[in-house]
Amino acid sequence: MVRSGPDRSLNSAARPQGRVSGLNATQSKDLAMHRVAVLAVPAVKPFDLSMPYTLLGGHPGYEVTVCTAVPGVVAASGGIEVVIRHGLEAVAAADTVIVPSTASRHDAEPAALDALQEAAAAGKRVASICSGAFVLAQAGLLDGRVATTHWALAEELQRAFPAVRVDADRLFAEDGRIVTGAGSAAGIDLCLHLISCDYGAAAANTAARAAVVTPVRHGGQAQFVQTPLPAETDSSLDAARIWALQHLNQPISLHDLAARAKVSVRTLTRRFTAETGVTPFQWLLQQRLLRARELLETTDLTVDHVARRSGLGSGESLRQHLSRQIGMTPAAYRSAFTHRPSAKTGQ
């Protein structure tokens, strides 16, 4: 039997906001605590249930609480039972609510649906992983919105809830304060996206490294339905991607990548798109922008210098691409996501 973590009070007086002990205390002293409620709807999928705590719980700015409509022993898939101590008061106290995968795609508990409706009405961010989107749809939160779920469930979601604009060809979809994720592994991307939105790209990459998962992927990438990645791969493209990440400040051509992968340009393009869901140039642009965002967050480098260090060429090019991607100028992004009292200048 898997049990949830130690019982923690939801009362802010019992746990002052931003208070963290140990090595994280200094870096988090200026961060307001962001409360996340992970709402388990039976029968819940244990992997997805643990995902938000695994990724968000390692950041000092989050307090993650697992809850359910009826605290106690909760049914889970795979013959597992989970003990959850917190009730729906955690949803009421949260800033973000995440609903993991569930078997209750059409008959979720009314109390859980009421709590989600109240959370959305209060302006809280509400997210789902995989079949959790069905719970959001039952609560009416997806009506008129773009949403996604596991590709194998997309048609079922669309038939059951015709008011939802289902897009099955995405890792996650964000529509206002509602964020829906695709299959279970895409829940990792969704959680990293939430961290990036709240605390910046550097924090999201730190969480990805700690969990030993792929760095942030954008929600618009395909779910890789046609060619899923094998559990283990010795693809020669891995070496090419690692090399590219180490040389983002330099011009990189298709011929350079093909040479590193020891394949033809045509084979590189075909296999790269099959393995990542994007073309080599799209992937390179994503990585360059991610590097630029990290530099904006963690250094005092000028915008032109950040652009050169990330391979985007000029400050104007960086401004255009960043504005197109997230709707912010480099200066606005740096102001929003630089948390440390004094950023260090890069070498």
Domain ranges for the chain? 2-211, 231-347
User: What's the DSSP call for residue 111?
Assistant: H
Residue 227 has pLDDT above 80, yes or no: no
For the stretch 256-291, pLDDT in tens is 999 999 999 999 999 998 887 789 999 999 899 989
pLDDT band of 103, cuts 50, 70, 90: very high
First to last CA, the chain: 51
Q: Give the tokens for residue 22.
A: 């140990």
pLDDT band of 9, cuts 50, 70, 90: very low
Q: Residues 39-47: what's their mean pLDDT? A: 95
> What's the CATH code, domain 231-347?
1.10.10.60
Which CATH code of 3.40.50.300, 3.90.1150.10, 3.40.50.880, 3.30.700.30 fits the domain covering 2-211?
3.40.50.880
Q: Residues 215-229: what's their mean pLDDT? A: 44
Helix (H, G, I), strand (E, B) or coil at 90: helix
41 with 135: CB under 8 angstroms?
yes
Among the listed residues 175, 177, 205, 210, the one whose alpha carbon sits nearest the alpha carbon of residue 193: 205
CA quadruple 270, 325, 61, 309: dihedral sign: positive
Please give the model's pTM, rounded to 2 decimal places.
0.63
For the stretch 236-259, pLDDT in tens is 788 898 899 899 999 999 999 999
Helix (H, G, I), strand (E, B) or coil at 175: strand
Residue 115 has pLDDT above 50, yes or no: yes
Residue for token pair 């740096």: 334
- For the stretch 209-215, contacts whose Cβ atoms lie closer than 8 Å and that sit 24 or more positions apart, written own/partner, are 210/58, 211/54, 211/55, 211/58, 213/188, 214/188, 215/290
Peptide bond before 25: cis, by omega within 30 degrees of 0?
no
